[in-house]
């Protein structure tokens, strides 16, 4: 069962989930996206909400609509998404995380990157 955070619009949360699937390689560049109906059924959402999520991804340059064929993942979308997410992390999340690690006395040697 899907759970949704009430602090963000559901369409944005779905767009974020689909973007994560793209980053994880579950959605492949150049391949068609699942249909609006299929996504609505999978995530138990109104098709209009799903359409808005796909529109948000399209506006970010990750998807393209091919008239009469459907919606496809744009070539280069994964790299574009990874770069944008990396920039957001380094500028927004990392400084606060680094400060917290310092306050807790956690060093690089304490962190296990591979588990």
Q: Note the pLDDT of residue 19.
A: 96
Write down the CATH number for the domain with range 1-108.
1.10.10.10
Tokens, residue 27: 């959605």
Tokens, residue 49: 């909400």
Within the chain, where are the H helices?
10-23, 36-43, 47-59, 77-88, 94-104
Q: Which residues, including other chains, have CB under 8 Å from residue 44's CB and lie 6 or more apart?
A: 1, 2
Cα–Cα dist 86/36, whole Å? 29
Provide the 10 A C-beta neighbour count for residue 73. 21
Q: Note the pLDDT of residue 69.
A: 93
Tens of each residue's pLDDT in the chain, 115 residues:
578 888 999 999 999 999 999 999 999 999 999 999 999 999 999 999 999 999 999 999 999 999 999 999 999 999 999 999 999 999 999 999 999 999 999 998 888 877 6
């Amino acid at each position: 069962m899907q759970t949704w955070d009430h602090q963000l619009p559901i369409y944005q949360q779905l767009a974020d989930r689909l973007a994560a699937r793209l980053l994880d390689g579950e959605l492949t560049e150049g391949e068609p996206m699942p249909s609006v109906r299929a996504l609505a059924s999978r995530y138990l959402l109104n098709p209009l909400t799903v359409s808005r999520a796909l529109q948000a991804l399209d506006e970010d340059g990750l998807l393209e609509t091919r008239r009469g064929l459907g919606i496809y993942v744009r070539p280069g979308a994964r790299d574009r998404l990874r770069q944008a997410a990396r920039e957001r992390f380094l500028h927004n999340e990392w400084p606060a995380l680094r400060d917290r690690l310092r306050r807790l006395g956690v060093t690089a040697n304490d962190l296990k990157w591979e588990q």
